[in-house]
Amino acid sequence: MTLLQIRLIIAAAIACLVAAPFVLNPFSITLLNYIGIYALAAIGLALLTGVGGIVSFGQAAFVGVAAYSTAWATALNGYSPWLGLVLAVIVTCSVAAILGFVTLRLGGHFLSLSTVAWGLAIAFLFGNIDGLGQHNGISGVPPISIGRLALVESWQIYFLIWAIVVAILLLCYNLLDSRIGRAMRALRGGNTLVESLGINAFQIKLLTFVIAAFLGALSGWLYAHLGRFVSPGPFEAGMGIEYLMMAMVGGAGSILGGVVGAAIVTLLKNTVQDYLPLIAKGASGQLEIVAFSALFILFLQRARQGIVPFLAGFLPDLKQSRPQVADPLPLRDKPEPGTLLLKVHEAQRRFGGLVAVNNVSFEVKSGEILGLIGPNGAGKTTMFNLLTGALRTNSGEIGFAGRSITHDQQFHIARAGISRTFQHVKLRPRMTLLDNVLLGTYSRTRTGLFAGAFRLNQAEEASARYEALMQLERVGLGDKPFELAGNLPLGNQRVLEIARALAADPTLLVLDEPAAGLRRQEKLKLAELLRSLRADHLTILLVEHDMEFVMSLVDRIVVLDFGSKLCEGEPAAIRGDARVQEAYLGGVA
């Protein structure tokens, strides 16, 4: 499928949306209005849950905060609905920012549980605050006016609602295809991966959270002015799970899925309300929620993927054009070959009583390949984590390029010019090779949220894409940039990680067991690649198990054993060292 075909499909869809009010009956239009409103909240949740991996049960509360804000401003204080919109967005986003700031450091299910907690607390507040009409709600919310035209009829507000939905869809797609959006898509890969790319994971999570709340705010604002009445009911916990259902049924991770999910759930609900009374007289209300929950559970058991990704599987692949030649991204100043680059001084790390790294000191000089070796349990991985900031030292100093990085956070260290790969490959399997490598350019580019969503910084994006392609070609993966990373064999996945690390233009490349699990041919190719990188004056620190691989490649070796440095020197000297032989092979009896 080409880009033109996709544009045609979008144009046709918009034409259908414009034509709908002239064809459909008023009831269908009202239904479409609610679908649009729910879709906005569901899109927010798709971003948060599907893209960012943060399952939230509290979206309904944000919708409610916005609806109550605008109702308070317009119905109780007589301001214009547009002022209500401003207030709704400010209040909702502030609440989200505060809640997010407090809770987003929580891990996995604790975070989701906290969304249940504040979702409930906020919903209880609506019904218990005197100024907000308590359980009776606030009536008399005025309609939205554009100029002198008041949007009273449902077909009038229909255009406003769906214009907003379409605009939000386009902005979200732009955003996800930009620098910040790619960082959001990386969130599900875990904090260590995200931070290793120089991305402040917490900041991106908070941003995603506030964007989701912002979309909830738009939804709540429209909701208040469409129904002209707000009460606590529609913002309670039950609705929170309904939004989650919309996002997941549509296909969490897919923005369009939010709209499709909202449509399916709303229409299904409508149908259920029509037909259940025929089956079970007098019990339809309670059966409705049973039927719905049961369907949702069945869905989660059988088809977690969602509808849009399922259908998209049948479409022909999008034909994307290879990135064109563009201005190169700025390069870092590299130190002179042979100067001191990394200095580890008396680094110590304890886990309880176990001293995993015990006062280890070594240096890495610019332009060399240093191997860090040692038997199992020697403390190699811990040392690695100390260097990259994944763990903190208990004592000792680590200096990089003339500056102490001992207390720096992981993403700061990454931005300072240390790029890493992982022993257990951490790629985004559902992203293309090019997008994965583009993640590496994060710290070298500047495009922010708005510039990304409105496509204001296309020159930098073009440069980044070209840079990513260059790095893919440098490592020998340039022939299929739009392949999904998950489809690569392990050897190429490791190489792809190196390309991603290179895209950050690092001063020091640290590789965690790059040869683990590779076949002989793949190892030879990898060694070849690393030699060519050294020829380009890149400094490489290598943690490796495979002796043959290390000995033939590195300039110097540091040997760790039981957390302490055993010795260091050139490969030949290490090979002949009695202490090393004893550590690896056991002493001579």
Partner 1 sequence: MTADIAAILAIDGIATGAVYALVAIGTVLIFTVTRVIFIPFGDIAAFTALTLAALDARQLPGTVGLVVVLACMACLMEVVALSRVGEFRALPKAVLGYLVLPLIVVGIVWLTMRFNPPMPVRIVLALLLIMPISPLLDRIVFRPIADASVLLLLTVSVALHFALVGLGLLFFGPEGVRTEPLTSMGMEIAGVHVSGQTMLILIAALVFSGLLLLFFDFTLLGKALRATAFNRTGARLMGIRPARAGTIAYLLGSLMAGVSGVLIAPVNTIFYDSGFLLGLKAFVGAIVGGMTSYPGAALGAFGVGILESFASFQSSTLKDVIVFSLLIPILLWRSLASQHSEEEVEE
Strand locations in 406-492 (E): 418-420
Helices (H) and strands (E) in the chain, counts: 23, 14
354 binds partner 1 (CB under 8 A): no
Binding test (CB under 8 A) with partner 1, winner from 145, 156, 270, 293: 293
Instruction: Name which position in 121, 167, 279, 303 contacts partner 1 (CB under 8 A).
Output: 121
The letter for the amino acid at 350 is R
Of 8-16, 111-119, 364-372, 457-465, the segment contacting partner 1 by CB under 8 A is 111-119
**Nearest distance in Å: CB 38, partner 1:** 17
Q: Considering the complex, what minimum distance in angstroms separates the CB of residue 383 from partner 1?
A: 18
Closest CB to partner 1 among residues 109, 148: 109
* Tokens read off for 85: 């919109």
Tokens of 54: 């943060």
Amino acid at 252: A
Q: Of 379, 376, 305, 375, whose CA–CA distance to 344 is shortest?
A: 379
In the complex, the smallest distance separating the C-beta of residue 50 from partner 1, rounded to whole angstroms, is 11
**Of the residues 290, 315, 459, 490, which one makes contact with partner 1 according to CB under 8 A:** 290
Closest to 12 in 3D by CA, of 178, 234, 217, 166: 166
Size of the site for partner 1 (CB under 8 A): 53
The β-bridge partners of 145 are: 150
Site string (35-54) toward partner 1, x via CB under 8 A = ------------------x-
- Least Cα distance to 91 among 71, 77, 76 occurs for 71
For partner 1, the binding residue among 112, 266, 443, 539 (CB under 8 A) is: 112
Cα separation, 76 vs 129, in Å, equals 14
Applying CB under 8 A, does 110 fall inside the site for partner 1?
yes
Residue 117 in the binding site for partner 1 (CB under 8 A): yes
Work out how close the CB of 53 gets to partner 1 at its nearest, in angstroms, rounded to a whole number.
Answer: 7
What distance in Å separates the CA atoms of residue 540 and residue 498, rounded to the nearest whole number?
11
Residue 496 CB, shortest distance to partner 1, in Å, is 16
Which residue, 72 or 126, has its beta carbon nearer to partner 1? 126
AA letter at 98: I
Max CA-CA distance within the chain?
Answer: 98
What is the DSSP secondary-structure string of 77-107?
T---HHHHHHHHHHHHHHHHHHHHHHHTTS-
The strand pairing partners of 350, in sequence order, are 355
User: Does 262 help bind partner 1 (rule: CB under 8 A)?
Assistant: no
Helix (H, G, I), strand (E, B) or coil at 111: helix
Percentage helix, strand, coil for the chain under 3-state DSSP, each rounded to 5: 60, 10, 30
Tell me whether residue 164 or residue 272 sits nearer to partner 1 (CB atom).
Answer: 272
**Residue where the block lists tokens 């295809």:** 177
- Regarding 162 and contact with partner 1 (CB under 8 A), the answer is no
Give the end-to-end CA distance of the chain in Å, rounded to a whole number.
70
Single-letter amino acid, residue 436: N
Look at residue 530 and give its three-state secondary structure: helix
Name which of 117 and 578 has its Cβ closer to partner 1.
117
Of 13, 19, 124, 537, the residue at the interface with partner 1 (CB under 8 A) is: 124
In this chain, which of 78, 107, 131, 586 binds partner 1, going by CB under 8 A? 107
Placement of tokens 């060694």 in the chain: 527
How far apart are alpha carbons 447 and 26 in whole angstroms?
Answer: 44
Q: Which 3 state secondary structure label does DSSP give 560?
A: strand
Residue type, 178: S
Q: Shortest Cβ distance from residue 471 to partner 1 (Å)?
A: 24
Site string for partner 1, 219-258 (x = CB under 8 A): ------------------xx--x--xx--x----------
287 makes contact with partner 1 (CB under 8 A) = yes
424 DSSP assignment: S
State yes or no: residue 392 binds partner 1 (CB under 8 A): no
Each residue 55-84 as x (binds partner 1 by CB under 8 A) or -, in order, gives x-x---------------------------
Comparing CB distances to partner 1, the nearer of 46 and 550 is 46
> In terms of CB distance, is 81 or 189 closer to partner 1?
189
**In terms of CB distance, is 86 or 116 closer to partner 1?**
116
Smallest separation, CB 345 to partner 1 (Å): 26
Within 411-470, which residues bind partner 1 (CB under 8 A)? 426, 429-430
* Among positions 189, 250, 257, 396, the unique one binding partner 1 when judged by CB under 8 A: 189
Q: Nearest approach, Cβ of 134 to partner 1 (angstroms)?
A: 9
105 binds partner 1 per the rule CB under 8 A: yes
Neighbours of 231 (CB within 10 A): 21
Full strand arrangement of the beta sheet holding 403-404: 354-365, 340-351, 395-400, 403-404
Binding positions for partner 1, rule: CB under 8 A: 53, 55, 57, 99, 102-103, 105-110, 112-114, 116-118, 120-121, 124-125, 128, 188-192, 237-238, 241, 244-245, 248, 283, 285-290, 292-294, 296-297, 300-301, 304, 426, 429-430, 486
